[in-house]
Chain A
Amino acid sequence: MNITLKVWRQKNSKERGRFETYHVKDVSADMSFLEMFDVLNEDLITEGKEPIAFDHDCREGICGMCSMYINGRPHGPLQGVTTCQLHMRSFKDGDTIVVEPWRAAAFPVIKDLAVDRSSFDRIMAAGGFVSVNTGNAQDANSILIPKTDADLAFESAACIGCGACVAACKNSSAMLFVSAKVSQLALLPQGQVERHERVISMVNQMDEEGFGSCTNTGACEAECPKNISVENIARLNREYLSAKIAK
């Protein structure tokens, strides 16, 4: 099939960007979306032009590096699928596809479609952990955890830190991302000791990074490639409230 792409090009964080139009011919349905970009970039290089910069690494939907805003939706048209796992069979011959970077004040553009998400790392450094030094642990099976709790914690822990939730949100809120980590640890006995401190530090850091506030529109859940549930946000709010009261 033949595809027309309108892609955001921006030389660096300082210069202004614009859309450029490209035509990609003979796209096979078995190609991944990023493989189509590979083909386009190969053509651009051969023509002596600059290829389009975009982030990617695992191409298996797990590292969270890929981040394209495709036809107005982070990671494109499918539910629960990252950009790298999107395949061209989801499109048809003659389609025009608009591709932009994540747009959020806390995610400045580095070049073209690549953005800086280091704000997420700083939120994690503020409290997304259990303070246990290596070598201090008791036997693993001495902590019994009901399967349902373990499964729920796992579901929250499946977040890949991609930032689609922020890109999808009209307020650029990072609540889904932060709540996934807070939930995982709040659901497990290991996370109890620091639960109050954790939620407050992480939320404070989130505010400091310039993410917007949550107005419960649920766009994050709808666009999250790992189906992280908004119930996590409710849990974060409860955690936050009880931490504030305890203070």
Chain B
Amino acid sequence: MTSSKLDAHIPEGHMAEKWSKYRSTVHLVNPANKRHLEVIVVGSGLAGASAAATLAELGYKVKVFCFQDSARRAHSIAAQGGINAAKNYQNDGDSVYRLFYDTVKGGDYRSREANTHRLAEVSGNIIDQCVAQGVPFAREYGGLLSNRSFGGVLVQRTFYAAGQTGQQLLLGAYSALMRQVGTGAIKMYARHEMLDIVNIDGKCRGIIARNLITGELERHFGHAVLLCSGGYGNVYYLSTNAMGSNVTAAWKAHKKGAFFGNPCYTQIHPTCIPVSGDHQSKLTLMSESLRNDGRIWVPKKKEDAEAIRAGKLNPNDIKPDDRDYYLERRYPAYGNLVPRDVASRAAKERCDAGFGVNATGEAVFLDFAYNLRYKYGQMEATKHGIENPTEQQLFDLGKEVVKEKYGNLFDMYKQITGVDPYHNPMMIYPAVHYTMGGLWVDYNLMTTVPGLYALGEANFSDHGANRLGASALMQGLADGYFVIPYTIGDYLSHEIGTKAISTDHEAFVEAENGVKEKLNKLMNVKGTKSVDHFHKKLGKIMWEKCGMARNASGLKEAITEIQELRKQFWADVRIPGEQNEFNPELEKAGRVADFLELGELMCMDALQRNESCGGHFREEYQTEEGEAKRDDENFAFVSAWERTGDNQWTMHKEELKFEYIKIAQRSYK
């Protein structure tokens, strides 16, 4: 059933041996030849920085591009909670197989087994590598590494550095990157935005980038190009992503032949700070790790919920019996640690039913009072030999422990909401967070364009229809440190005879002209409305009709509305300033123009998938208890979209075969 246009190149052999066999038989490039091979890396997040550093260490000539003013500011920096690895340091039954299994199950059986298994296999090496670089992970008193739990699993395998794990991992990868910049093996292009790829004779051979300070267009040649450009959650306008996160790099590649995989799979994260008003520019995540110690609830009685909303009742005054710990009630086995898609839908269900607790009715409580006092406070009291501690003593002692674990998150919450979460339950609501969809890649991480690779969040590969917490950092670093250094050799070993192609080649000229034309077109609309005006409108359509719950008629409406909005954008957007200068509005305009095309494809993908799986919940397909209802007979495939013309696509299928894990109904009860 798999389309003839898609070959995942999965190695033969038993699952547990595929990767090791691949590594020992893959073609290698002689060190002397590596110096003549040039690789372009777009993106300096975990995936890009780790790939670039490793390839430079191997001897390739590398160029790295990012749009921020420094590689260290890539969006990976914002990841909070942690990174998974099957180290089994806690001796609690973890193993490569279990991490593999949890990831496939967590992804609702919509990921490719071979890739996911490889991810689990290399996970342990990642922690080793990061520690060697000096990443200061949290430790126990004995000097060993500490672990915490994340959703969707029953073992403790998450490594962390307070609520700043992404920061510490990225600074580690950035330091490896800068070391190579120092030796001259990598040339870094910060404040540059890639605006097209260049294909020559069917292979990707370079990119066109815009220098964001001067506005100049530049041509760069590479024997291979790696897109490590992150996720596209900002198509919803409001998300937990950084303001600049975008789909542009992936989208330009898509337009030049790279198929887009599972575009409709988006992750809505259950614990984010709710929207406070129309001025809202982004949403802030409160890490999943908080669900280790926080209990999620809403009032049992509607009148209590109404009183809280009206500001007449303090939630601390509601008795335990009058609280509905709905996750613990519905999913006793996993409780507050169910996967994200399940937790988000459950929050929406309670709020839709009228139990929401903030002014807009779209918030639930995440409450630390219990663990703070009776778990940590009590533990510390016992440690210090305090018998019969007072409530105040328990609070003070517990607060210190909670502060150490989550201090930066609690500070951030207070800064944004003005409410102190040590004394009051946090208010949270689901928000767009991560995109499982992305460029379709084979086992080598190569897209359907030879020589063009996609790594990290930019590809579709390992998480199926729902990503488990602490797995994106793992995937980004796995792709960059341990996968691409091998798989790229398979391709480049055939390229040693290819001399660097001059950027005067007509393909470069043509691509640059195309970019110039597009920029001119944007500047020349000279309409009346700002870029944000259109972005907000698109976000609203996407959130309402292609968000946490979707249905066929809504998706059809969304498609028409997006087409209409796209027309308005090209007729009425206003971009001040000039093209050949530092112009943030022009940058935004280009990104929103691409989102306006992607949005339509996401809706089309959601519409064709007549089932519910993971983050993709089609209201027509649910069980009597309101759980997602998959259709394995008809939808156990990856949808890979080929662009055939302006906003026209054909869908190809990659059939998913489950040979090592029995496909089953996902249950967390």
Contacts and interface: CB of A to CB of B under 8 A. Distances in A.
A62 B167 contact: yes
A200 B481 CA distance: 29
Contact of A125 (B73, B181, B213, B577): B181
Interface string A167-183: 00000000000000000
B70 A120 contact: yes
Interface residues of A, number: 81
A125 B70 contact: no
Contacts of B127: 140
B333 interface: no
Contacts of B87: 140-141
Given A12-B582, A137-B132, A144-B144, A56 B279 contact: no
Interface stretch (A185-193, A212-220, A239-247): A185-193
Contacts of A150: 136-139, 143
B393 interface: no
Interface stretch (B171-179, B366-374, B641-649): B171-179
B164 A62 contact: yes
Contact of B532 (A38, A130, A190): A38
A95 interface: no
Contacts of A32: 281, 416
Contacts, number: 226
A235 interface: no
B131 A137 contact: yes
B482 interface: yes
B136 A132 contact: no
A128 B178 contact: yes
Contacts of B481: 134-135
Contacts of A91: none
Contact of A45 (B73, B145, B585): B585
A49 B176 CA distance: 43
B154 interface: no
A157 B281 contact: no
Interface string A34-64: 1110110110111011110101111111111
Interface residues of B, number: 81
Contact of A126 (B182, B574, B585): B182
B129 interface: yes
Nearest to B142: A144
Q: What does DSSP make chain A's interface, helix, strand, loop or mixed? A: loop
A207 B136 CA distance: 28
Contacts of B54: 133-134
A111 B582 contact: yes
B277 interface: yes
A124 B164 contact: no
A229 to B, nearest CB: 15
A50 B54 CA distance: 43
Contacts of A161: 70, 72-73
Interface string B101-136: 000000000000000000000000101111111101
Contacts of B530: 41-42, 45-46
B133 A61 contact: no
A199 interface: no
Nearest to A85: B415
Interface string B143-183: 11100000000000000011010111001001110110110
Given A124-B178, A133-B57, A157-B168, A116 B69 contact: yes
B381 to A, nearest CB: 21
A158 B167 contact: yes
A184 interface: yes
Contacts of B161: 154, 157
B482 A134 contact: yes
B482 to A, nearest CB: 7
B284 A60 contact: yes
B416 A134 contact: no
B69 A140 contact: no
Interface string B42-82: 00000000100110010000000000111111010110000
Nearest to A154: B136
Contacts of A191: 134
A125 B73 CA distance: 15
B244 interface: yes
A177 to B, nearest CB: 12
Contacts of A110: 213, 582
Nearest to B133: A130
B244 A57 contact: yes
Contacts of A70: none
B581 interface: yes
B68 A63 contact: yes
Nearest to A124: B178
Interface in B75-105: 75, 77-78, 87, 89
Contacts of B182: 125-127
Contacts of B514: none
Contacts of A120: 70
Nearest to B74: A63
B279 A35 contact: yes
B31 interface: no
- In this complex, the member of B53, B144, B282 whose beta carbon has the largest number of chain A beta carbons within 10 angstroms is B282
B188 interface: yes
Contacts of B321: none
A87 interface: yes
Contacts of B142: 144
A169 to B, nearest CB: 20
B555 interface: no
Nearest to A13: B213
A28 interface: yes
Contacts of A116: 69, 213
B243 interface: yes
A50 B53 CA distance: 39
Contacts of A61: 412, 415
Given A12-B581, A124-B174, A28 B141 contact: no
B418 interface: yes
Contact of A63 (B73, B130, B577): B73
Contacts of A134: 50, 53-54, 57, 129, 176, 481-482, 485
B279 A39 contact: yes
Contact of A121 (B139, B188, B277, B577): B188
B276 interface: yes
A191 B532 CA distance: 46
Contact of B78 (A38, A49, A62, A133): A62
Most buried by A among B162, B277, B529, B582: B582
Contacts of B129: 132, 134-135, 137
Given A87-B418, A147-B143, A65 B162 contact: no
A173 B50 CA distance: 31
A147 B139 contact: yes
A213 to B, nearest CB: 24
Contact of A50 (B125, B132, B179, B577): B577
B584 interface: yes
Nearest to A159: B171
Interface string B543-576: 0000000000000000000000000000000101
A145 B89 CA distance: 16
A116 B69 CA distance: 7
Given A46-B574, A135-B482, A144-B143, 6 more contacts: A45-B574, A65-B69, A87-B416, A138-B128, A143-B132, A184-B134
10 contacts: A28-B276, A30-B418, A48-B574, A53-B582, A64-B73, A81-B415, A121-B71, A129-B178, A129-B179, A154-B136
The 6 A-B residue pairs with the shortest CB-CB distance in the complex, in nearest-first order: A144-B143, A129-B175, A137-B132, A125-B182, A137-B128, A154-B136
